[in-house]
Amino acid sequence: MKTIFAYTDGSAVVAGKHKGKGGFGTYFPDLNGEKKAFSLGFHKGKTGQMEVMALLYAIKAMSIDSAEPIKLIVYSDSEYVVKTFTENRLKRWIADGRLNQGGSAANKELWNEIIRVLDKRKHYLTLEMRHIKGHQVDREKDPVRKNKLMNDPHIFGNMVADRLADYKRHKNLL
């Protein structure tokens, strides 16, 4: 089984004159032999919405068909996104009807899209979600410890996704 790592992050401004502007970043250190990144900025968005969007892009980056099984391991600093899978919240939302039209789940359109794209890849793709503490490099003041953090591939991947998620890096917002 082939293992692919992805790092996702989403962000949105919660106050001030730029309130609601948001973005997401999805980073693959090795997707079919290449580093690959996806990132978009939005005029209107919420942090949770951007976090889910980042995961959606990670899953969509997997081809519809694959001759070999693939385990996609996604690292996210969003407990909301990670626990949706690790605590089987998505399955409960489906069973409770919260993802149906008129349902009460936040970001239900995005979650339904994730269900749809996972279903198209279910014959070969296994999704594993892992939580990672965000902004570890930014918070570290000691240069020796900061360098050690930068050499951890998962912390580095999370840092790249975080930078990609900044709406200010986009000239045109959707």
Q: Could you tell me the end-to-end alpha-carbon distance of the chain, in angstroms, rounded to an integer?
A: 37
In a domain, 21, yes or no: yes
Is 64 inside a domain boundary? yes
Is a pLDDT exceeding 80 seen at residue 171?
no
Q: What is the pLDDT, as a whole number, of residue 104?
A: 83
In the sheet with 70-76, reading across from the earlier edge strand, the strands are: 34-42, 22-31, 2-12, 70-76, 125-131
Backbone angles phi, psi at 7, to 5 degrees: -125, 130
Count of alpha carbons within 13 angstroms of residue 18, beta-carbon side: 12
DSSP 8-state class, residue 98: T
Return the SS3 of 68: coil
* Percent over 90 (pLDDT), the chain: 65
The whole model's pTM is what?
0.91
Range of the structural domain that residue 67 is part of = 2-169
The CATH number of residue 139's host domain is 3.30.420.10
Let me know if residue 122 belongs to a domain: yes
Q: How far is residue 63's CA from residue 74's CA, in Å, rounded to a whole number?
A: 16
What does the pLDDT look like over 97-129, one tens digit per residue? 989 888 888 899 999 999 999 999 999 999 999
Please report whether residue 113 resides in a domain: yes
Establish if 174 belongs to a structural domain: no
Q: What backbone phi and psi angles, to 5 degrees, belong to 104?
A: -100, 0
Closest residue by Cα to residue 58 from 2, 22, 94, 10: 10
Q: How many domains would you assign to the chain? A: 1
Please state at what angle helix 89-96 crosses helix 108-120, rounded to 10 degrees: 110
The pLDDT value given to residue 75: 98
**Mean pLDDT calculated for residue range 42-60:** 95
